[in-house]
Amino acid sequence: GAGVSQSPSNKVTEKGKDVELRCDPISGHTALYWYRQRLGQGLEFLIYFQGNSAPDKSGLPSDRFSAERTGESVSTLTIQRTQQEDSAVYLCASSAGLLSTFPSYEQYFGPGTRLTVT
Amino acid sequence: RKEVEQDPGPFNVPEGATVAFNCTYSNSASQSFFWYRQDCRKEPKLLMSVYSSGNEDGRFTAQLNRASQYISLLIRDSKLSDSATYLCVVNRRGGATNKLIFGTGTLLAVQP
């Protein structure tokens, strides 16, 4: 079946521009996560959506970052006024969410969007 | 202090060697534990879940010590294809939250 897809796969943008990254989760997965991974670094949690609950935005690094999700489908991560330190791979993952039981918390990751801010 | 801590490595081992990775977590409310694998420039993928009694999957053995808040992964008879970063992952669940907390990973390089 189809996995998590992300677009674009690569994005080069000029400092100060806005970018929008898209994630299509696995159908039926109620939970969706965004992570950032800088070169040679670990995964940095950004935001988590679970069904119709208020999202957990505790990982967003600044108010330039925002994300939306329509129902239990597509999510977009928007970065406004991009800075060079925003350069990273942005990974999206989905899982069966709260209704799942161990070990079905598995998060399935998309291939990521590599963002380069020049 | 990070919620999940791992030795970043790198661990350089010859083919056929046995290698062990350790991980500690700080939140005693953590409920579930996993090892993920991330190949260079690829997304993380689940390697195995970690059960309380320990579990084995082929050459891979995972152990959990809740009292010491410690998780381990043992790889026997290392293959070149095992070269990757191994991520220790802890699930924290409560209320409307079901989050995975990732360690920064341990890099394994298996040498011919």
Is pLDDT at B18 greater than 70 in this prediction?
A: yes
Residues of B with CB under 8 A from a CB of A: 31-32, 34, 42-46, 49, 51, 87, 91, 93, 96-105
Q: Average the pLDDT over B75-92 and give the result.
A: 94
Instruction: Return the exposure string of B26-42: e unless at least 16 CB atoms fall within 10 Å of the residue's CB, then b.
Output: eeeebebbbbbbbeeee
Q: How deeply is B45 buried, as exposed, middle or buried, from its count of CB atoms within 10 A (0-12, 13-18, 19+)?
A: middle
**What's the mean per-residue pLDDT of chain B?**
91
Q: Residue A105 and residue B101: Cβ atoms within 8 Å? A: no
- For residue range A10-33, list pLDDT tens digits in order: 999 999 999 999 999 999 888 899
Is pLDDT at A45 greater than 80 in this prediction?
A: yes
Is pLDDT at B40 greater than 80 in this prediction?
A: yes
Phi, psi of B58 (to 5 degrees): 65, -120
Q: Quick one: pLDDT at residue B39? A: 95
Q: Average the pLDDT over A1-7 and give the result.
A: 88
Dist. CA A4–CA A24, nearest whole Å:
6
Q: Provide the pLDDT confidence category of residue A92 given band limits of 50, 70 and 90.
A: very high
Residues of B in contact with A33 (CB under 8 A): 99-100
- For residue range A54-86, list pLDDT tens digits in order: 898 989 999 999 999 987 789 999 999 999 999
DSSP A99: G
Q: What are the tokens at A111?
A: 């291939």
